[in-house]
């Protein structure tokens, strides 16, 4: 049985992908634990299909086989001396080994903590330091490190009190010794720890119980995605160390007996069209991406014979949604059967397990265009009534999922009326229990009666939520509230050659007041062209926002991102203050 868990050769793999339909009655996550959910899914034919970056099937993993392997893995883990509720850190490749170990933890009563691969970190040393911080924050007793970075294992686990620190192959090669009956789990037990994509300097693991995780899976599948009895199939390149990948395309599909085709996250930026090709080939119906994923696809020629007519839910989440990018994608791919009405905006975060709201299906992207100056001065999202006034278009992110609640509050905790800007608070059965081992930080955002301070600013509109930005990013300039996202959006849409995630805006306090800086990734080489670009950017910002901005051009791929691909303004600001970008601009000039 050991060899079943070691997928080491083509002969050990199933040639045909797992089929779309399970052949069993659909249950929408109505289980007490994720191991109960896998027990039921194993009675059908669905499962995970693991592909490489070229779209070639590596492993077909039916839930029936996965269940057997996960139970064996549970015994392996417990034979190491691990006890119920111990944490197991898993550096998460999108492969069968991750599935075997993650679900093995579920059966063993252990708490897995999926951790990021070195995709968006500033070099090896920074990555290892971040990773070690997460392992320590989780107080993990075992760390599983994929072969991809196996040579870094000694540095990652140095001086840690672990019972295991090694590769999936090393773990799965251990004898599946009988350790007695597996622990009995309850719905209040912690299922896993989720480190948010911004968890770098002070990493905090979000504790998600079995009950909260399954409540979110149920609400997403039954009400958000409205999963059908037959025919639905998921396709994802999203990382399994991020909530949108882990919950949206790993836990929720299994809990609802859906088949999912998984692509490696680290390959997506190089070959984004493989994602679309897989949707076309396997008749995928549900696939999600942040805006930048659609932008990458829109810039590349489509694969031959592409047919996206099966794609009924093209979800967007994980970052501020940029409608112009989605328009470009829809325009480029409508000839290949893509229907823009498939776009679905949603809102959520790891602290709510994943989703808290969904826009209506089959309506495409719904937007609200408001008077930007009125927003900045009055903190009110007034609809545009003057064609000459600066404006900003926001995406409407839908109603709260059933059983959940969303409100915009003022600084005194009072619920605000429609269009009044406030802090977004949410409540419902999918809330985290708290940040693991961080009681003070938990109390700062989660009230005794279950309301979570999301840290986002926004407004309500006819029962739907609209997000305008992060509270911590807000800049107050001469009494005006200015969001860096607004300035970034203006530059991205007005300046030729500037793409999403090419602009990072922040402010720095000085004796004479607050100064706004815009770091812009630039691909131009001549001094004259660069000078013209800086002047154009400054002019656009002055015209649209009425503020002066210090524009700093930086080389491509130098603005820092989180592990999920979001721009991190705080780190960009720290790098600028350290003189890094100023040096680069001087050398470029």
pLDDT digits over 200-235, tens only? 557 899 999 999 999 999 999 999 999 999 999 999
pTM here is 0.86
- % of the chain surpassing 70 pLDDT: 93
Q: Tell me, what's the pLDDT at 542? A: 87
In angstroms, rounded to a whole number, what is the distance separating the alpha carbons of residues 583 and 331?
Answer: 40
Q: Tell me, what's the pLDDT at 4? A: 38
In angstroms, rounded to a whole number, what is the distance separating the alpha carbons of residues 8 and 59?
Answer: 10
Render pLDDT for 162-188 as a digit per residue (tens, 0 to 9). 999 999 999 999 988 777 899 999 999
Render pLDDT for 85-138 as a digit per residue (tens, 0 to 9). 999 999 999 999 999 999 999 999 999 999 999 875 557 888 899 899 999 999
Domains of the chain, with CATH numbers? 2-271 (3.40.50.12780), 347-471 (2.30.38.10), 474-588 (3.30.300.30)
CA distances to 50, 411, 451 from 408, in Å: 41, 10, 12
Q: How does 393-420 read in b/e, with b if 16+ C-beta sit within 10 Å?
A: bbbbbbbbbeebebbbbeeeeeebeebb
Sign of the CA dihedral running 564, 365, 570, 407: negative
Scan for tokens 């007793």, then name that residue: 141
């Amino acid at each position: 049985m050991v060899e079943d868990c070691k997928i080491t050769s083509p002969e050990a793999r199933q040639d045909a992908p797992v089929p779309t339909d399970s052949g069993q009655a659909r249950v929408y996550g109505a289980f007490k634990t994720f191991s109960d959910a896998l027990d039921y899914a194993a009675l059908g034919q669905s499962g995970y299909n693991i592909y490489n970056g070229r779209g070639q099937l590596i492993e077909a993993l039916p839930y029936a086989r996965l269940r057997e392997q996960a139970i064996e893995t549970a015994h392996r883990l417990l034979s190491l001396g691990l006890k119920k509720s111990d944490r197991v850190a898993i550096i998460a490749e999108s492969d069968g080994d991750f599935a075997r170990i993650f679900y093995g933890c579920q059966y063993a009563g252990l708490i897995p903590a999926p951790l990021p691969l070195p995709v968006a970190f500033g070099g090896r040393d920074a990555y290892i330091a971040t990773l070690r911080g997460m392992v320590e924050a989780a107080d993990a007793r075992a760390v599983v490190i994929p072969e991809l970075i196996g040579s870094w294992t000694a540095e990652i686990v140095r001086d840690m009190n672990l019972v295991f620190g090694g590769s999936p192959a090393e773990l799965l090669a251990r004898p599946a010794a009988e350790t007695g009956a597996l622990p009995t789990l309850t719905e209040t037990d912690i299922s896993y720890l989720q480190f948010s994509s911004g968890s770098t300097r002070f990493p905090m693991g979000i504790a998600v119980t079995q009950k909260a995780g399954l409540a979110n899976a149920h609400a997403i599948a039954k009400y958000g995605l409205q999963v059908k009895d037959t025919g639905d199939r998921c396709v994802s390149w999203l990382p399994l160390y991020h909530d949108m990948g882990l919950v949206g395309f790993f836990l929720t599909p299994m809990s609802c007996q859906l088949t999912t085709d998984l692509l490696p996250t680290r390959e997506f930026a190089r070959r984004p069209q493989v994602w679309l090709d897989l949707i076309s080939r396997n008749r995928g119906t549900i696939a999600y991406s942040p805006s930048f994923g659609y932008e990458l696809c829109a810039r590349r020629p489509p694969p031959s014979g592409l047919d996206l007519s099966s794609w009924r839910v093209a979800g967007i989440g994980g970052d501020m949604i940029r409608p112009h990018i989605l328009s470009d994608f829809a325009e480029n791919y409508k000839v290949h059967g893509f229907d823009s009405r498939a776009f679905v905006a949603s809102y959520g975060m790891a602290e709510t397990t994943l989703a808290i709201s969904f826009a209506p299906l089959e309506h495409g992207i719904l937007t609200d265009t408001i008077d930007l100056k009125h927003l900045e001065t009055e903190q009110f999202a007034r609809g545009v009534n003057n064609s000459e006034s600066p404006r900003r278009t926001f995406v409407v992110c839908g109603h709260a999922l059933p059983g959940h609640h969303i409100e915009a509050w003022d600084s005194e905790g009072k619920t605000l009326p429609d269009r009044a800007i406030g802090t977004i608070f949410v409540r419902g059965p999918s809330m985290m229990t708290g940040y693991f081992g961080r009681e003070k930080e938990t109390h700062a955002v989660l009230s005794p009666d279950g309301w979570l301070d999301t840290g986002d600013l926004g407004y309500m509109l006819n029962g739907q939520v609209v997000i305008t930005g992060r509270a911590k990013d807000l800049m107050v300039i001469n009494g005006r509230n200015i969001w860096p996202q607004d300035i970034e959006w203006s530059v991205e849409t007005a300046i030729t050659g500037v793409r999403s995630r090419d602009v990072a805006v922040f402010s720095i306090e000085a004796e004479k007041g607050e100064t706004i800086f815009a770091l812009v990734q630039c691909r131009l080489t001549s001094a004259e062209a660069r000078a013209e670009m800086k002047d154009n950017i400054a002019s656009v910002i002055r015209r649209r926002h009425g503020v002066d901005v210090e524009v700093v051009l930086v080389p491509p791929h130098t603005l820092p991102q989180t592990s999920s691909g979001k721009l991190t303004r705080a780190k960009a600001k720290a790098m600028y203050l350290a003189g890094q970008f100023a040096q680069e601009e001087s050398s470029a000039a």
